[in-house]
Amino acid sequence: MLTLFHPATGLVRVKGVTRCTNLVLHGWLKEELSEILSTWPTSVKVDAEANAALWHHWQQGLSIRITLPKELPPLRMLLIWDNLKGHYTPEMVLWLFAHGIMPLYTPLAGSWLNMAESIQRILVRRALEGQSPQTTQQIIDALEATACGWNREPTPFVWGGKRAARRARSRHRRHALGASGACTTHPIRRHRTLLDKWHLSCQPTH
């Protein structure tokens, strides 16, 4: 199941195939990506230096950096996909660059970093659980129909991961303050007012 997933909207594009050669995958990707870009506003011209800096920004921190061409169009899209040899095909990569698309590769054994893996599991479960398809075409039809149903009420995805878990634990260790979004790392000691002291002085003694 060839899959393109947009986490911010939850929309998914799929195509069932019986084989996934580079010819099949790259042809489908070019068609789908071109259609997506055609629906977006025309990219605004930006300063060449600032545009180059934006492209190179997404290469920072990578152990293996892809070689960018000297002349780059405005950056319009990030395409995250697995670290497979076919995804480095020069013709495909240059096509992406020419259309303002930056390919970002998940690390080896890091397919779980690609949200497309999550949406695929959801669609496969919904389409095939409890079913007994007899042909390949029945499986393809079920998967594509399920994707269409998902897109009628898509659910956006938000990245969790270890960093998000650390942020959540940090928030739980903080103490919220009234009237704003400010927090402290420990509760603020409440100072006794004159009224509090008066109440204490009125307490009966034993």
Q: pLDDT of 172-194, one tens digit each?
A: 777 666 555 666 666 666 555 55
φ, ψ of residue 30 to 5 degrees: the values are: -60, -40
pLDDT of 62 reads 77
Query: Does residue 30 surpass a pLDDT of 90?
Result: yes
- Of 7-11, 106-110, 144-148, the one with minimum mean pLDDT is 106-110
* Mean pLDDT within 36-40: 91
- In this predicted structure, the answer to whether residue 23 has a pLDDT above a threshold of 90 is yes
Higher-confidence position of 64 and 59:
59
pLDDT of residue 16: 95
- Stated pTM of the model: 0.73
Q: Which residue has the higher pLDDT, 163 or 115?
A: 115
| Separation CA 16–CA 140 (nearest Å) | 5
Distances (CA, A) of 140 to 9, 123, 147, 206: 24, 11, 11, 84
* C-alpha distances in Å from residue 173, one per residue of 67, 72, 167, 180, 186: 43, 45, 10, 17, 8
- Domains of the chain are 2-152 (3.30.420.10), 161-201 (no CATH)
Residue showing tokens 């270890």:
162
Please give the pLDDT value at position 118.
87
pLDDT of residue 83: 82
Q: What is the mean pLDDT of residues 32-45?
A: 86
Q: Which residues pair with 78 in a beta bridge?
A: 102
CA distance 175 to 184: 5
Percentage, residues of the chain above pLDDT 90 = 42
* pLDDT tens digit sequence for 61-117: 877 788 888 888 999 999 998 888 888 899 999 999 999 999 988 877 776 677 888
Of 62 and 30, the structure prediction assigns the larger pLDDT to 30
Helix, strand, or coil (residue 4): strand
Helices (H), the chain: 22-38, 48-57, 90-98, 115-128, 136-152, 161-172, 194-201
